[in-house]
Amino acid sequence: MIPRLLYLPASIGLTLLVLPLAGLLLKVDWPALPALLLSPEALQPLGLSLATASVSTVLCLLLGVPLAVVIARSKPRVAGLLRALVTVPLVLPPLVGGIALLSLLGRGGVLGNSLELVGLRIPFTTAAVVIAQTFVALPFLVIAVEGALRTAGIRYERVAATLGAGRGTVFARITLPLVGPGLLAGTVLSFARALGEFGATALFAGNQAGVTRTMPLAIYTAFNGSGVTTDQAVALSLLLIAVAVIILVLVGTRRASVLS
């Protein structure tokens, strides 16, 4: 059912996305790779990245699904406004997200001062990494799930209500399963975005090994290191991409089997 004409632009699009990654492969110093990838300099940030991105994704789910539901079921005008607000963090250049978070939660920040009084300091901790990642990844989840909710419509929810099911039951047993594919897509997107997050983290959380140095920061550090050995940066990037592809394919095929 696909018009044949579409195959040409589709393959150009795919090429544009995939070829640069292939280009990276040419830059790799293959003999040095295994040792580098098994070094603590590679594995520690990878572990931290996977851990923080996982926590962020859970946070995104907990906060984003309800937000998506509210937007999807709002009147068109309200929904339009909320959707715009939710999309704004996407526009922010990486740095600005960091400045914004610091100006809120940093020393002298609106909330930061109050938190300081109760002895809580968020910037430059692992919590800051999670917050930064959640901040940038949340819009993805909200928008994906909201779209799915809107397409699913409320016909089945109405049927469930006429059978006597309360809102909670309808939400858990009808709404969520119906938007399952959209939810999974949103989860994958926000996890990916959290895993790749650099800008806000760099400013808001800093770059301390084992605490806030996630993979993207490690890559940045390697890139900026003495001697522009992009080698190490490239190797770390490859590691990140490989891990991401494995996770995406695993989830993607699971998702496929759910759908079919």
Partner 1 sequence: APSTAMDAGKPGPATGLEPQTLSVYAAASLTGAFDELALLLEDENPGVDVQVTYDGSSTLATQIAAGAPADVFASADQKNLQPLADDGLTGPATRFAGNTLRIAVAPGNPLKIENLADLARPGVITVLCAAQVPCGAASATLLANAGVTLTPASEEQNVTAVVTKIAGGEADAGLVYTTDVAANPGRVEGVTPAGADAVVGHYPIAVVEGSAHAEAAQAFVDLVLSPAGQAVLAAHGFLAP
Partner 2 sequence: MTPALWKSAAKALLEANLQLTRGSFSLDLRLTLARGEVLALLGPNGSGKSTVLDLLAGLAIPSRGIVALDGAVLTAPGRFVAPEKRAIGLLGQEPLLFPHLTARANVAFALRVGEARLNAAAARAAADRWLDRVGLNGLGGSVPGALSGGQQQRVALARALAAGPRVLLLDEPMAALDAETAPFMRQLIREQLADTGTSAIIVTHDIVDAVVLADRVAVLHDGALIDEGTTAAVLAAPRNPFVAALAGVNLVVGTVQKGAIVAPDGRTFSVRPADAADLDATGPAAAVFRPASVVVQTEQPRHASPRNVWSARVTGIEPGSGGVRLRTSGDPEIIAELTPAAVADLGLQLGSPVWLSVKATEVSAYRR
DSSP 172: I
Q: Does residue 229 bind partner 1 (CB under 8 A)? A: yes
Q: Does residue 6 bind its own copies (CB under 8 A)? A: yes
Hunting for tokens 């997107």 — which residue is that?
189
**Cβ–Cβ under 8 Å, residues 204 and 123:** yes
**Cβ–Cβ under 8 Å, residues 98 and 132:** yes
Options 59, 102, 130, 183; binder of partner 1; rule CB under 8 A: 102
d(CA 165, CA 188): 31
Q: Does residue 227 bind partner 2 (CB under 8 A)? A: no
Note the Cα 212 to chain centre separation in Å.
Answer: 17
Min CB(220)–partner 1 separation in Å: 6
Min CB(124)–its own copies separation in Å: 16
DSSP 30: G
Q: Does residue 75 bind partner 2 (CB under 8 A)? A: no
Binding-residue pattern over the window 184 to 203 for partner 1, x denoting contact by CB under 8 A: ------------------xx
What are the distances in angstroms from CA 24 to CA 20, 232, 233, 234, 239?
6, 12, 10, 7, 12
User: Which tokens in the block code for residue 61?
Assistant: 């789910």
Written as one letter, the residue type at 99 is: I
Q: Does residue 10 bind its own copies (CB under 8 A)? A: yes
# residues contacting partner 2 (CB under 8 A): 19
Q: Does residue 44 bind partner 1 (CB under 8 A)? A: no
What are the distances in angstroms from CA 146 to CA 43, 90, 156, 186, 196?
36, 16, 16, 10, 23
Min CB(184)–partner 2 separation in Å: 13
Q: Report the candidate in 236, 237, 213, 233 with the shortest Cα–Cα distance to residue 223.
A: 233
Q: Does residue 166 bind partner 2 (CB under 8 A)? A: yes
Binding-residue pattern over the window 31 to 60 for partner 2, x denoting contact by CB under 8 A: ------------------------------
- The phi, psi pair for 123, rounded to 5°, reads -55, 150
225 binds, among partner 1, its own copies, partner 2, none (CB under 5 to 8 A by kind): partner 1
Task: Single out the segment in contact with partner 2 by CB under 8 A; choices: 56-64, 84-92, 107-115, 172-180.
Answer: 172-180
User: Which tokens in the block code for residue 147?
Assistant: 């779209």
Decide: helix, strand or coil at residue 120.
coil
Helix or strand run (H / E) with residue 78: helix 76-91
Min CB(160)–partner 2 separation in Å: 7
Task: Single out the segment in contact with its own copies by CB under 8 A; choices: 9-17, 34-42, 120-128, 205-213.
Answer: 9-17
Options 7, 173, 245, 250; binder of partner 2; rule CB under 8 A: 173
Options 125, 169, 207, 230; binder of partner 2; rule CB under 8 A: 169
Options 40, 66, 80, 177; binder of partner 2; rule CB under 8 A: 177
Chain residues in the site for partner 2 (CB under 8 A): 155-156, 158-167, 169-170, 173-174, 177-178, 180
